[in-house]
Amino acid sequence: MAGSSSCDIAIIGAGIGGYVTAIRAAQLEMSVTLIEKGDVGGTCLNLGCIPMKALLASTHLLRKIRQSEDFGIFVKDVSVDFKKLMARKDTIVNTHTNGVKYLLKKNKIRLVEGKGTIASANRIHVEKVDKTEENISAQYTVIASGSEPAEPSNIHIDRKRIVTTDEVLRLDDVPQSVAIIGGEVMGLEFAEVFNALGASVKILEKTPSILPSLDHDLGKAIHRILKKRGIEIQTDVDIESVNVRSDERARIKAASSGSELELDVDKVVLTERKPFTKDLDLEKVGVQLREGSVVVDERMRTSVPNIFAVGDVTGGRTFAHLAFAEGIVAAENMAGMERTMDYRTVPTCVYTSPEIASVGLSEEAAVKLGYNVSIGRFPYMANGRASTLGEREGFVKIVSDRETDEILGVHILGPNATDLIGEATIAIRLECTSEELGRTIHAHPTLSEAIMEAALAVSGKSIHI
């Protein structure tokens, strides 16, 4: 016989969307039960953002060491202990997982370990890991079940030679050759890691360019940089099949620009993910889905008034910081505070070397929407701080409305781009003009001066170019 309990809010999924919703709701003095069938922290903390960035920190340092002679420093006999590199990653993940558990306890959030299914608009049935069952009654339900790897029918995923993003961060050694299917954010970051560790890397992207969702200039520039490092990039690729051969290598059959492509590699990495909605019984209670994603309004409410959804399960861009923001909005709406999401100011970050960051409209998107645009651009080779760091590749590009001078988008390729994009995000949120941003005093020498100079360049007033 199943036990029972009640609370104000029951949340399925303890990833960043779920636990942020829980903490904000607890701050607003609502009782919260958080249900998680796997590891607290979800994909981002355990299989995505944090472990990936830990590996990238190691490979960025390795790349720097290999360039140390440019700084007058000579290092001999550099080697990589892959197991220790992976152990460092695991230590970081465990530290942050324990940190989230501490925050849940501190905020008096009840954590239930088990698989949750929506039984009705106000009740969740949980099959707990200890083999018992529980029915949880709640005024509000939040779906924060995240995403899972997409598994196309024409690809035989054996979890050994052909792997998804769930397995690739648990490898025991570095493969000699890797094919990465997908040239978006995750694909480029995996390519960066494997390339730095000595693997032969190929990126296969189905669209005409890598990073197709970002400003075209960013994709074009990073394509050139990665190619110079020996990473092969093939675009307009239509995958026909991927299978494991008898010699334990993986074979990819595809078409590209009208030509047949056949490729044998040690490892194939699939980067595409999809919303996780299976076994939740959402349709039974009337939650509307669109192409597998939970449909929500700007308040994160689903088609069922007391059921909300946040994060990857809602489709669109699968960013942890977006799930964080949606969780705050959802919690505050459930507490009676009228809040809406502002999707204009969601930054995209790519932790390659150099980094890429973008917020707002690309030049192409702005023109398509009917804006008459002005463009300001400033190269890092003209920035003093970039020169001292030995990081002169890249640029800052600002897209502004020619009529009002309001900044529509900011796009950065260069050192610390993912940190610098915060300034640009604030500028767009506050409807700042390029004139205002350009006249804001920036410390010297800093990388942020490139943003100031790009803003000045919109009206042809940049000083250092």
Give residue 247's pLDDT.
79
This prediction's pTM? 0.95
For the chain, list the domains and their CATH numbers: 3-149+275-343 (3.50.50.60), 162-271 (3.50.50.60), 354-457 (3.30.390.30)
Instruction: Report the pLDDT averaged over residues 31-40.
Output: 96
Could you read off the pLDDT of 108-125 as tens digits, one per residue?
Answer: 999 999 999 999 989 999
- Distance, in Å, from the CA atom of 276 to the CA atom of 81, rounded to the nearest integer, reads 35
The enclosing H or E element of 146 equals: none
Please, what is the average pLDDT of the chain? 95
Could you read off the pLDDT of 213-265 as tens digits, one per residue?
Answer: 999 999 999 999 999 999 999 999 999 999 998 778 999 999 988 889 999 99
Which residue in this structure is represented by tokens 């953002």? Answer: 49
For residue 201, which of 219, 216, 187 has the smallest C-alpha distance? Answer: 187
What whole-number percentage of the chain has pLDDT above 90?
Answer: 91
Instruction: Report the pLDDT averaged over residues 193-198.
Output: 96
Q: Two tokens at 94?
A: 């465990």
Give residue 1's pLDDT.
59
State the sign of the Cα–Cα–Cα–Cα dihedral 432, 433, 434, 436: negative
Q: With 70 as the cut, is the pLDDT of residue 306 above it? A: yes
For residue 147, which of 271, 54, 326, 268 has the smallest C-alpha distance? Answer: 271
Give residue 282's pLDDT.
94
Instruction: Report the pLDDT averaged over residues 421-430.
Output: 98
Q: With 90 as the cut, is the pLDDT of residue 100 above it? A: yes
- DSSP symbols for 21-54: HHHHHHHTT--EEEEESS-TBHHHHHHSHHHHHH
Cβ atoms 161, 252 nearer than 8 A: no
Give residue 2's pLDDT.
76
Q: With 70 as the cut, is the pLDDT of residue 312 above it? A: yes
Give residue 304's pLDDT.
97
- DSSP symbols for 324-390: HHHHHHHHHHHTT------GGG--EEE-SSSEEEEEE--HHHHHHTT--EEEEEEEGGG-HHHHHHT
- Distance, in Å, from the CA atom of 361 to the CA atom of 344, rounded to the nearest integer, reads 8
Give residue 259's pLDDT.
87
Catalytic annotation on 125? Answer: no
Which is the catalytic residue, given 216, 223, 442, 444? 444
Q: With 90 as the cut, is the pLDDT of residue 397 above it? A: yes
Give residue 256's pLDDT.
87
Could you read off the pLDDT of 426-442 as tens digits, one per residue?
Answer: 999 999 999 999 999 99
Q: Two tokens at 355?
A: 């980094």
